Amino acid sequence: MARTVTTLEIEGVECEGCAGSARAALAKLDGVGEARFDIPGKTVTVSHDAAVGREDVARALTAAGFPAR
């Protein structure tokens, strides 16, 4: 299946512990691969299957307490 890379602005990720919690939330979505966090830049770049939409990624992060857009 084709992979897509999505970069989102994210709030609330202040340390590697927070990034780990956000990664755990993303891991619950089928088709999500790697998530790389730029903590100072307040962004996350997520590799995922094309069937997983940008909105799905943002919704999972926001539900975990890390508002993403």
Q: Given this model, what pLDDT does residue 1 score?
A: 67
Name all domains of the chain by residue range, CATH numbers in brackets. 3-63 (3.30.70.100)
DSSP 2-13: -EEEEEEEBSS-
* pLDDT score for 51: 94
Which positions ≥6 away from 23 have C-beta within 8 Å?
Answer: 35
The helix or strand, by DSSP H or E, that contains position 60, with its residue range, turns out to be helix 54-63
Query: pLDDT tens string for the chain (69 positions)?
Result: 689 999 999 999 999 999 999 999 999 999 999 999 999 999 999 999 999 999 999 999 999 999 999
